[in-house]
Amino acid sequence: MTDLHVDFVSELIKKVKPSATIAVSMKAAELRAAGKDVIGLGAGEPDFDTPEHIKQAAYDAIKNGQTKYTAVDGTPELKQAIIGKFKRENNLNFAANQVLVSCGAKHSISNLLAAVLNPGDEVIIPAPYWVSYPDMALLAGGKSVIVTTTQEEDFKITSEQLEASISDKSRIIILNTPSNPTGKAYRKAELQALGEVMLKYPQLMIATDDIYEHIYWGDEDITNLGVLFPELMNRMVFINGVSKAYAMTGWRIGYAAGPVEVITAMRKIQSQATSNPCSISQAASVAALNGSQECLIPMKKAFKERHDWLISALNELPGFSCIKGEGAFYAFPNVEQAIAKIDGVSNDVEFSTWLLENAEVAVVPGTPFGAPGHVRLSFATSMDNLQKAVERIASCLAKT
């Protein structure tokens, strides 16, 4: 028999890129396993352990036999806890059929895009964006419309930019505040201006990815478009989860709340794809949302201290320029001038490789976030690691 080569991979999947954030974390872990002393500033996950009372709820769930399938959209207890969270923290009211629990907020967003996009529909994505949005849009048959912002513009889109990006094919915009990778958060007045434009385009849905809302230290209370514009609620989907706030990345629980018909469509997809998220993780998430919120305070304090230290340390590095964020746990400096000084390095991707090889510091290049010329450093790691990383980068740059 002839050994014919058959290509089994679909044309669509060939166009999808693997997640760059995950790739960098894996590479750093591999190098460490091979004995290299790599400092990983790639991973976007809290370095804290999941609080004890949350773990206890999981042990109890196992002991009590909560080890079976649950309802596809989540246990009634968790859905009630999520409804309570929205009411208490965001002043938003949802009924149980407006909430869907999924295997992480990433899964929630991917369900959402699959539920609302027709082939060729446009997804408006402000850049810098979280690496996964454009590829998730592509997987769901959509087309990304990237709205670029710069450091000088505080990495936030204006109402004029939003309006210019809307076309007859626009289906949904994804806002992420506080932002991964910039740490910037929209102020009330800025959301007000964006909301005024959204009101004019009833075909446009709004997804707001609020996964970093608890890691926020801005000078005004965090607000949301749904409270500012109740008229938008029938086309807004709120994405959130326990990963970042409660240091629960591995538990894989995220959730979405929004209009009944959209949530129902998302639930249908989930029923044919993954069924319910892990029953034990759901029980733990009930404890996270309903339990004392005191555990959030020390984590947020540590992130803020590291942020303050890291931003000023980065601004001392030759060729680095970094603005402060109001939340999340990332610094996103512009490094174009540093790149210009290094022989054989001409962009942020090569610069990140150069840092890994020379300084043994893992960072994520800005290009996969839609922002060439930048790199992302996660400060979800100890102060010691951050100080060592900056010293190493400084000494490598001094030799260029």
Where on the chain is the footprint of ligand PMP (CB under 6 A)? 44, 104-106, 130, 176, 180, 209, 211, 241, 243, 249, 254
- C-alpha distances in Å from residue 235, one per residue of 11, 18, 231: 32, 30, 9
Beta carbon of residue 248, minimum distance to ligand GLU (angstroms, whole number): 13
The nearer residue to ligand GLU, 98 or 378, going by C-beta atoms, is 378
The nearer residue to ligand GLU, 42 or 51, going by C-beta atoms, is 42
Beta carbon of residue 35, minimum distance to ligand GLU (angstroms, whole number): 25
CB 201 within 8 A of CB 168: no
Q: Hey, how many other C-beta atoms are within 10 angstroms of the C-beta on 337?
A: 12
DSSP secondary structure code for residue 271 in this structure: H
Q: Which does 19 bind (CB under 5 to 8 A by kind): ligand GLU, ligand PMP, none?
A: ligand GLU
Q: Which of 244, 254, 224, 239 is nearest to 300 (CA)?
A: 244
Beta carbon of residue 248, minimum distance to ligand PMP (angstroms, whole number): 8
Torsion of CA 212, 307, 26, 140, to 10 degrees: 30
Torsion of CA 275, 278, 280, 285, to 10 degrees: -100
The nearer residue to ligand GLU, 345 or 377, going by C-beta atoms, is 377
Residue count of the chain, please give it: 400
Q: Which does 111 bind (CB under 5 to 8 A by kind): ligand GLU, ligand PMP, none?
A: none
Q: Which does 209 bind (CB under 5 to 8 A by kind): ligand PMP, ligand GLU, none?
A: ligand PMP
Residue 389, burial from CB neighbour count under 10 angstroms (0-12, 13-18, 19+) = buried
CB 130 within 8 A of CB 176: yes
Q: Which does 110 bind (CB under 5 to 8 A by kind): ligand PMP, ligand GLU, none?
A: none
The nearer residue to ligand GLU, 128 or 373, going by C-beta atoms, is 128
Beta carbon of residue 20, minimum distance to ligand GLU (angstroms, whole number): 8
CB 151 within 8 A of CB 127: no
* Residue ranges binding ligand GLU (CB under 6 A): 19, 21-22, 43-45, 106, 130-132, 180
The nearer residue to ligand GLU, 121 or 213, going by C-beta atoms, is 213
Beta carbon of residue 106, minimum distance to ligand PMP (angstroms, whole number): 3
Q: Which does 240 bind (CB under 5 to 8 A by kind): ligand PMP, ligand GLU, none?
A: none
The nearer residue to ligand PMP, 249 or 387, going by C-beta atoms, is 249
Q: Which does 22 bind (CB under 5 to 8 A by kind): ligand GLU, ligand PMP, none?
A: ligand GLU
- C-alpha distances in Å from residue 307, one per residue of 97, 267, 288, 325, 336: 39, 38, 25, 8, 21
